[in-house]
Amino acid sequence: MLRNLRQRKNSAFTLVELLVVIAIIGVLVALLLPAVQAAREAARRNTCKNNLRQVGLAMHNYETSFGRLPPGYEYSEGSQGNEMGYSWGARILPFMELSNLYDQIDFKKPIYDADNAVVCARHIGMLLCPTDDVSPTGFVEMGDERYAMACYVANFGAPDLDEDQEQLQEILETDYGTLTGPWGPFYRNSTTRLGQITDGTSQTLMIGERQNGPFRTAGSNGSHISYETTWVGAVRDIDDPTDDHGHMVLFQTGHTPNDLDSDDRDVSASHAGLAQFLLCDGSVHTVSEGIDMQVYHALGTMNGAETVATVN
């Protein structure tokens, strides 16, 4: 009997052994956690890529149906600034099997009309990157107005979204055929056809990513402090109606992706080290944040006559 008690007593863990086991478990967890997080991010990045593919299909189906791509955003000047503002994202809803949502928008009324308030506040899963933890429940607010955030923006090109819209309109009013140089396929009231992208659809960006929330570097764009991205459209600034906020649905190639000095006109993705882009041929590619600036500018233009190596 005494022998059995002694054997049972000796088979128990000592305090030192218990601490060693806990330490080993801690090390294993520390080693496994980054791998688990990396696997989860890879899955989120793949979902984001699939979202962009679906947007690409919708864009091409829209172009087939109407003979042109949807406008970057619609512009009609009124006493309160841009009275329209509906974006490419709103216009392709029927081609993403979201006709029920599309039918709730009264396109004859301004985007900020009270009758459009409910639909403008709806989040769309296909237009949200799962790595972005702000946009799925976030809103861009204009006074009492709320617009559901989104994560994808269309390519305006290399010029400044805030400064060069009027110059672009003057060119278009004179002769559309002269629209060469730094412009991308999407802008105010754009009617771009895929056949007009002479740089090649596989060499021209269509859609890029933008996270929401504070800028990567505070104060990088004066009084603006946050990325502002929506799906439904560009909404005029209540305090300055001349500002139509085209950056809410478009991007310029002003900084390379994820640059620390990027602002609400740039591409700034939630993925570490890279951003994902839909090209005009419908393919989706990752672009490193270290891409050469000249190459990035060239990818942003639709007929700038540059030679660009195919992106990864």
- Tell me the per-residue pLDDT of 142-158, one tens digit each, with 9 for 90 and over: 999 999 999 999 999 98
φ, ψ (nearest 5 deg) of residue 148: -60, 135
Residue with tokens 């929506």: 230
Could you tell me the pTM of the whole model? 0.85
Give residues with Cβ within 8 angstroms of 62, minimum separation 6.
69, 70, 91, 92, 95
| Residue 79: DSSP 8-state | T
Residue-wise pLDDT for 268-279, tens only, equals 999 999 999 999
Pick from 161, 215, 154, 217: nearest CA to 185: 154
Between the alpha carbon of residue 230 and those of residues 30, 122, 179, 195, 250, the distances in Å are: 38, 10, 27, 28, 10
Hey, is 101 helix, strand or coil? helix
Query: 170-214: per-residue pLDDT in tens?
Result: 666 565 555 666 889 999 999 999 999 999 999 999 999 999 999
Residue 250 contacts residue 190 (beta carbons within 8 Å): no
232-257: pLDDT as tens digits: 999 999 888 888 999 999 999 999 99
Return mean pLDDT, the chain: 88
The predicted structure's pLDDT at residue 92: 98
Tokens linked to 39: 């696997």
CB within 8 Å of 74: residues ≥ 6 apart: 84, 85, 86, 87, 188, 189, 233
- As given in the structure block, the two tokens for residue 253 are 């190639």
Query: Could you read off the pLDDT of 83-109 as tens digits, one per residue?
Result: 899 999 999 999 999 999 999 999 999
153 within 8 A of 246, measured Cβ to Cβ: no
Indicate the domain borders of the chain.
38-300
What count of residues does the chain have?
312
Provide the token pair at 281: 């041929």
What is the per-residue pLDDT for 138? 97
